Amino acid sequence: RQLPAMVQSKVADDACFGRSLFERFSKLGQKKHLLNIQYRMHPSISSFPNRKFYEERIIDAPNVKETSYERRFIEGEMYGSYSFIHVARGKEDFDKGRSPRNLVEAAVISQVVAKLFKEYSVSKQEVSVGVVSPYKGQVGL
């Protein structure tokens, strides 16, 4: 189960290039085999896609169960493997009429990331932060 290929050309779409390589092999009768061990995500993150999309057939590798995946450099539940932050007073507007964005959400996440970097700079730890937004207009903020 993977995202489909992105086709921008009508000619490519007409030639069925919107199908993934795996879909093409499958249609030709090649056997499928699920790669059922994941090596990258903390189990608390992998549990959702495993339940929702893979009928709990994906196994977490031993490396993602190690205590190094459990470390918290900053105290607080929000600073675990992942966080969902509810922003009550945020409101969407539109970036030049095209893509929604939420300035309050962007300000809140900017404060959270600034705090993370401040805490990490004191501890001299390397930091890597990912922020996911469903809005293209918000990504550039």
- At residue 93, the pLDDT reads 86
Which residues of the chain are under the pLDDT cut of 70? 1-5, 70-76, 95, 97
d(CA 141, CA 106) in angstroms, rounded, equals 7
pLDDT of residue 2: 61
The identity of residue 140, as a single letter, is G
Q: Is residue 71 a contact partner of residue 117, using CB atoms and an 8 Å limit?
A: no
Given a contact cutoff of 8 angstroms between Cβ atoms, the answer to whether 27 and 35 are in contact is no
Tokens (6 digits) for 53: 């999309």
At residue 61, the pLDDT reads 96
Q: Could you give the CA distance from residue 2 to residue 12 in angstroms, rounded to a whole number? A: 19
Q: Is the pTM of this model over 0.75?
A: no
> In this predicted structure, what is the pLDDT of residue 59?
98
pLDDT of residue 18: 80
- For tokens 């994906």, name the residue: 58
Predicted confidence at residue 97, as pLDDT, reads 66
Residue 43 CB coordination number (10 Å): 16
